[in-house]
């Protein structure tokens, strides 16, 4: 089966977003509080919600019900993930693009954009700088352009893994790039990627057509919707979905995300590893309507509802959002954030955190420009355990195997010791004195809460080896 541009589709390819059904769920009356509580109870039992159940939470506008949803999201996040927050950084490799998405500064018709593809030497310098700051996990971002084909993506991934400086190394490389065909996914999988991320941007068909001209690759709705299905069939069983909130009604988009997650679970026995929920931000050359912009209160509702709807899936909150809001919504279910981020091409070596952003070289404007160390210290002071863990990916706990661990809620048990060991590495190798003090206190508190066991005894030995022997990359 072929898409509009003659591209290959998956064996299961079809448009599974039934707008009439989704709008029908949203058109129902306000739910009864007991109905909402029954759905919350199901979620707290770590069971994924149906699209209709998710719509019930979306329709629950009563302030008292919203507060109950927030409280449940906090509880579920703690039960599944504990207080762990995984950290990463984005690295933009190239912003050439054949698309003309109205909301994006990389759009081909934006003549003010400075088109750059990093050279191998520039990539090395960027990665070394990120390693010098303590990063272990990156997501590489590519525009949609023939130059950024699967061979190039795979080559870039291999270069990033091979770049090491001092005690620094990148242990997991995720990808945000154009949808590929099945053979393309096989190539990038062989290069050792982690998650392959494709954002649908909007699941609403008419809005999708308005935002993505039909004579562009991204203008093919079905090809993009099918992108992660092809990834699964190409062996990439660790995928991420996302929506750009602000293009259409946020309530519909939440249902679209949940429908996509359930579809992947139904067809491939693996739901998405992550869900992202970026909001519209200012971008040079963008054209957007303010009608559907999402306010802070509804943004919190989005995060809480997604946490309840897909308990096993990581929720990513990016530096698009200002620091103040990131602090506030962290407790509603977020499990991954970026920190110390720059999204200009070459931004990690040519700017400092205090300098102005360069809109002609970035896709959108960031809201949080704090350094990694500043973000780490704040997390620690608020009782969160920052983690650079990559153990599941490297031990093969991905896809169906990951679901076996994630759905019953075993993530918390497996990941807390790994979080503490990677935190210890950061404290010894990179942290400021203030951050190290906060981190050592958190590790002591976490160890005090752990039951005496062989696992705890081994963790104590590993923490000592990191501190006194110079050992690194110890994981369960």
Q: CATH code at 315?
A: 3.20.20.70
Same domain, 122 and 259: yes
pLDDT of 284 reads 62
Assigned domain for 22 exists: no
Same domain, 455 and 318: no
Cα separations in angstroms, 292 against 92, 235, 295, 325:
28, 36, 9, 19
Assigned domain for 390 exists: yes
Assigned domain for 126 exists: yes
> Domain ends where: 356, 371, 406?
406
Same domain, 309 and 438: no
pLDDT of 134 reads 97
Assigned domain for 56 exists: no
Assigned domain for 335 exists: yes
pLDDT of 157 reads 98
Same domain, 287 and 430: no
Assigned domain for 148 exists: yes
pLDDT of 402 reads 56
pLDDT of 104 reads 86
Same domain, 459 and 397: no
Same domain, 382 and 437: no
Same domain, 107 and 184: yes
Single pTM value for the model: 0.92
> Domain ends where: 363, 382, 406?
406
Domain span at residue 298 reads 76-406
Assigned domain for 24 exists: no
pLDDT of 71 reads 97
Same domain, 386 and 441: no
pLDDT of 403 reads 53
pLDDT tens-place values along the chain, 476 residues long: 555 655 789 998 999 999 999 999 999 999 999 999 999 999 999 999 999 999 999 999 999 999 999 999 999 998 888 899 999 999 999 999 999 988 888 888 888 878 999 999 999 999 999 999 999 999 999 999 999 999 999 999 999 999 999 999 999 999 999 999 999 999 999 999 999 999 999 999 999 999 999 888 899 999 999 999 999 999 999 999 999 999 999 999 999 999 999 999 999 999 999 999 999 876 666 677 789 999 999 999 999 999 999 998 999 999 999 999 999 998 888 999 999 999 888 989 875 544 566 655 556 678 888 999 999 999 999 999 999 988 766 666 655 555 555 555 555 566 889 999 999 999 999 999 999 999 999 999 999 999 899 989 999 999 999 999 999 998 87
Judge whether 187 and 154 are in contact, CB under 8 Å: yes
> Domain ends where: 359, 378, 406?
406
Residue-wise burial string across 172-199, b where 16 or more C-beta atoms lie within 10 A, e elsewhere: bbbbbbbbbbbebbbbbbebebbbbbbb
Give how many domains the chain has, as a whole number: 2
Assigned domain for 291 exists: yes
Same domain, 218 and 314: yes
pLDDT of 399 reads 55
Same domain, 358 and 445: no
Same domain, 326 and 428: no
CA–CA dist 297, 66 (Å, integer): 10
Same domain, 118 and 102: yes
């Amino acid at each position: 089966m072929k898409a509009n541009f003659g591209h290959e589709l998956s064996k299961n390819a079809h448009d599974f977003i039934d707008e009439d059904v989704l709008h029908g769920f949203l058109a129902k009356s306000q739910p009864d509080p007991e109905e909402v509580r029954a759905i919350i109870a199901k979620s707290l039992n770590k069971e994924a919600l149906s699209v209709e159940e998710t719509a019930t939470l979306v329709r629950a506008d009563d302030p008292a019900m919203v507060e109950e949803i927030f409280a449940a999201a906090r509880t579920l996040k703690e039960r599944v993930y504990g207080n762990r927050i995984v950290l990463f950084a984005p690295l933009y490799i190239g912003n050439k693009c054949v698309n003309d998405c109205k909301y994006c500064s990389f759009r081909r018709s934006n003549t003010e954009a400075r088109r750059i593809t990093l050279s191998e030497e520039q990539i090395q310098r960027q990665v070394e700088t990120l390693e010098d700051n303590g990063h272990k996990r990156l997501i590489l971002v590519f525009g949609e352009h023939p130059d950024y084909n699967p061979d190039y993506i795979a080559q870039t991934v291999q270069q990033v893994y091979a770049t090491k400086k001092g005690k620094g190394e990148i242990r997991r490389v995720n990808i945000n790039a154009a949808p590929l065909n099945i053979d393309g996914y096989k190539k990038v999988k062989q290069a050792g990627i982690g998650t392959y991320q494709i954002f649908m941007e909007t699941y609403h068909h008419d809005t999708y057509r308005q935002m993505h001209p039909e004579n562009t690759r991204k203008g093919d709705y079905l090809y993009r919707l099918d992108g992660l299905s092809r990834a699964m069939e190409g062996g990439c069983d660790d995928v991420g979905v996302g929506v750009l909130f602000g293009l259409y009604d946020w309530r519909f988009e939440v249902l679209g995300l949940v429908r996509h997650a359930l579809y992947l679970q139904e067809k491939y026995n693996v739901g998405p590893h992550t869900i992202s929920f970026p909001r519209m931000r200012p971008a040079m050359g963008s054209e957007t309507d303010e009608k559907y912009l999402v306010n802070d209160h509804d943004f919190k509702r989005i995060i809480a509802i997604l946490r309840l709807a897909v308990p096993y899936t990581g929720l990513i909150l990016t530096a698009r959002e200002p620091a103040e809001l990131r602090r506030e919504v962290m407790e509603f279910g977020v499990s991954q954030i970026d920190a110390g981020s720059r999204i200009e091409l070459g931004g990690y070596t040519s700017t400092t955190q205090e300098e102005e952003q360069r809109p002609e070289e970035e896709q959108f404007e960031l809201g949080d420009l704090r350094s990694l160390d500043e973000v780490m210290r704040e997390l620690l002071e608020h009782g969160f355990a920052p983690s650079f863990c990559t153990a599941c990916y490297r031990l093969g706990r991905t896809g169906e195997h990951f679901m076996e661990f994630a759905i019953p809620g075993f993530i918390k048990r497996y990941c807390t010791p790994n979080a503490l060991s990677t935190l210890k590495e950061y404290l010894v190798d990179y942290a400021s004195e203030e951050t190290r003090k906060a981190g050592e206190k958190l590790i002591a508190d976490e160890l005090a809460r752990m039951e005496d066991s062989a696992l705890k005894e081994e963790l104590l030995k590993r923490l000592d080896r990191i501190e006194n022997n110079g050992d690194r990359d110890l994981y369960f």
